[in-house]
A and B are shown apart, each in its own frame.
Chain A
Amino acid sequence: MQPTADQRRWMYRHMVLSRYLEERIEALYMEGKTPVFNMAKGPIPGEMHLSNGQEPCAVGVCAHLSADDIVTATHRPHHIAVAKGVDLDAMVAEIFGKATGLAGGRGGHMHLFDAAVNFSCSGIIGEGLGPAVGAALSRKLQGKSGVAVAFMGEGAANQGAFHEALNLAAVWQLPVVFVIEDNAWGISVAKQASTAVPRNDLRAAAYGIPGHHVADNDVEGVFAAAGEAIARAREGQGPSLIEIETARLAGHFMGDGEDYRPKGEKEGLQARDPIPRYRQALLDAGVLDEAGNAALVAEAHARVEAAIRFAQQSEFLPPEAALEQVFAGESS
């Protein structure tokens, strides 16, 4: 399955948008955290998991989805949220903890919910799989269209939830696609030290469902595999599993020294950064020219800057608003 020129530009634009968002968040996150790193300080406190390098997974999958389709994402959610079309202003405001954020600041960067585009994420490994299966069941029971995609890291394949959710989705033949972003590291533990099989897509055989493997963080490889899996789900033929070899160009979280990585690994990954690679591919293919690239990058940067301004200029909710929205129907 080949993307059209429009789809190629769409994927590239969202990779650029996501990366620039992460770069700006990184800079703002570090405000107030130097020279002494204190996670509670600065305009964006708390843990921060940046998605630099993993953009191909998000855009290659979401290129096949509409707002009506369901996505559950992980503790490293920004690239997927961007590609799924989450309201960028409200998302950034939530990352800043502001009143105009998706949840008024109750959730923060690991708990982003945008019901308008059926996006959610959560902070615990493998946690989004069950809900994706349930959303797919909901569509099947209601006779409504729509597929659910559960994103996870490669570490999630070793959670019990992975086995339970894949078995349940397969036994009920639900329209759900499981996407593993294999960045080779579970915080500091390498995939080969934690996982008994070299490739998690091989585990699809255990559930009698198709497995796909995408090597080398290849945007169009993700597009092709996801296209096949999502079309299959839409046709009522049940779930699929995809594992994508991707790259974590930032640490596990901001402040991670990454001393556990072998010498030179990070430099090697940065040299294979998927964004310049894809830009060159599009330039070579003639679907993008230098002027078009410059305009696209400028527009993406302007969009991110506008979202950041929106967040910075927004107020915090009064602290006692923490008591509201525990239950549905409570005032905000």
Chain B
Amino acid sequence: MSTNASTATATRKLTIARAMAEATAQEMRADPRVFVMGEDVGPLGGVFGNTRGLFDEFGPDRVRDTPISETAFIGAAVGAASDGMRPIVELMFVDFFGVCMDAIYNLMAKNTYFSGGKVKVPMVLMTSTGGGYSDAGQHSQCLYGTFAHLPGMKVVVPSNAFDAKGLMTAAIRDDNPVVFMYHKALQGMGWLGTEKGATVPVPEESYSVEIGRAAVVREGHDVTLVSLGVGVHHCLRAAKALEEEGFSAEVVDLRSLVPLDRDTVRASVARTGRLIVVDEDYHSYGVSGEIIASVAEHAGCRLKAAPKRVAYPDIPIPFAPTMEQWALPNADKVVAAFHQMMRES
């Protein structure tokens, strides 16, 4: 990417949906092995907009609407990837993994290992996550921990359009299966409330964001706020609120769960001495526990206060807005967690 070009395009803002589609189109132009399949990815352009325009440019062979048969078409993606193609498949809502997880975790994630590294499975499984719009508990989950827990697949979760484009490019070029989890509240769809902070300047040129590198998106010295996806925006708002109270919060955007950039998290906590993890996935056995354990088990760990997490309670996600909004993480809860941490220490 040339400096001139990036300067020239620095003002062009894209939604995550547009950024994903642009990265996909660029890779499809450059590499005939790349193709897309999934439910409603063709003329409709994806229920969440991330394949918009691809069908018109590349046609029905390379942008394939599938039957509602996730077991078959995700299994087919594994077979096509093993045969030299680079498929991108969409699992429309991550909640639907229950009908097809075998193809994902027993085939996609294990064929490389069970072949002693001789069979590569270069595919991208993109899937929407998250709630906040009263779609209830079969269409609102994040399940980050579920996927990151199972070995053999990389997992990325962008919080903004710049990272989304670069991570999508990196995912398509990766020789391994990559699960690309995009949060619905960041997509920029008119009919879903969209976090404005996710729509950022995106260069027109193709570029990669390295999978496995977290980003310090705000520097600070009193507390480290670690999150991913929409949670990063809660943390940035909380950091702003804390700044008005005279506290300085550092915000780490994980961007990738597998591989997990523990070094960046530990280095930040080493500077601040305090850790709060914010995750819209379930509280127990998930990302928040893993981050805290990764810091706590490290020999260099020196904390000024017990770490805290702001996560989704261990309940199915309710429909009624009053209940759902009460249960979701938000900036106020992050600020409250910090206040409690300061009282306790």
Contacts and interface: CB of A to CB of B under 8 A. Distances in A.
Interface of A: 70, 72, 101-104, 106-107, 111, 113, 115, 118, 120, 122, 124, 127, 129-139, 141-142, 148, 160-161, 164-165, 167-168, 171-172, 324-330, 332
Contacts of A72: 79
B200 to A, nearest CB: 30
Given A113-B119, A135-B82, A168-B67, A327 B112 contact: yes
A134 B78 contact: yes
B176 A328 contact: yes
A130 B115 contact: no
Interface stretch (B8-16, B69-77, B333-341): B69-77
B83 A70 contact: yes
B79 A138 contact: yes
B113 A130 contact: no
A161 B106 contact: no
Nearest to A101: B116
A115 B118 contact: yes
B103 A130 contact: yes
A130 B101 CA distance: 13
Contacts of A102: 115-116, 118
A142 B115 contact: no
A73 B75 CA distance: 14
B113 A134 contact: no
Contacts of B83: 70, 118, 134-135, 138-139
B117 interface: yes
A216 to B, nearest CB: 32
A139 B85 CA distance: 9
Contact of A160 (B33, B67, B71, B175): B71
B111 interface: yes
Nearest to A165: B72
Interface residues of B, number: 48
B114 to A, nearest CB: 4
A106 B116 contact: yes
A134 B77 CA distance: 6
18 contacts: A101-B116, A103-B116, A104-B116, A106-B116, A113-B115, A115-B118, A120-B111, A130-B73, A133-B75, A134-B75, A134-B76, A135-B80, A135-B83, A139-B83, A325-B116, A328-B117, A328-B176, A329-B175
Contacts of B193: none
B316 interface: no
Contact of A161 (B72, B81, B152, B176): B72
Contacts of A122: 106-107
A3 B176 CA distance: 42
B120 interface: yes
A129 B75 contact: yes
Those 6 A-B pairs whose CB atoms lie nearest each other, nearest first: A130-B75, A134-B79, A134-B76, A131-B79, A164-B72, A103-B116
Contacts of B33: 142
Instruction: Choose among B61, B81, B82, B154 the residue with the greatest number of A CB atoms under 10 Å from its CB.
Output: B82
B66 interface: yes
A127 B106 contact: yes
A138 to B, nearest CB: 4
B218 interface: no
A83 to B, nearest CB: 20
A147 to B, nearest CB: 12
B116 A164 contact: no
Nearest to A171: B67
Contact of A326 (B62, B112, B118, B175): B112
Interface of B: 33, 35, 61-62, 64, 66-67, 69-85, 87, 99, 102-103, 106-107, 110-122, 151-152, 154, 175-176
Contact of B76 (A137, A326, A327, A329): A137
Contacts of A127: 75, 102-103, 106-107
Instruction: Choose among B35, B99, B103, B152 the residue with the greatest number of A CB atoms under 10 Å from its CB.
Output: B103
Contacts of A328: 112, 117, 120-122, 175-176
A181 to B, nearest CB: 20
Contacts of A124: 102, 106
Contacts, number: 156
A7 to B, nearest CB: 27
Contacts of A161: 71-72, 75, 102
A55 B159 CA distance: 54
B312 to A, nearest CB: 29
Contact of A332 (B70, B99, B106, B116): B116
Given A122-B106, A137-B80, A328-B176, A107 B152 contact: no
B176 A327 contact: yes
A115 B114 CA distance: 12
A285 B116 CA distance: 45
Contacts of A130: 71-76, 78-79, 103, 107
Nearest to B69: A164
Contact of B66 (A168, A327, A329): A168
Nearest to B73: A168
Contacts of A332: 116-117
A171 B99 CA distance: 21
A129 B72 contact: yes
Contact of A141 (B35, B116, B120): B35
A36 B116 CA distance: 33
B105 to A, nearest CB: 11
Given A142-B84, A326-B151, A131 B107 contact: yes
A160 B98 CA distance: 13
A171 B60 CA distance: 13
Contacts of A70: 79, 83
Contacts of A171: 67
B308 to A, nearest CB: 32
Nearest to B174: A328
A180 B106 CA distance: 22
A38 B118 CA distance: 32
A18 B333 CA distance: 65
Instruction: Choose among B33, B80, B110, B122 the residue with the greatest number of A CB atoms under 10 Å from its CB.
Output: B80
B318 to A, nearest CB: 30
Contacts of B122: 328
A330 B115 CA distance: 13
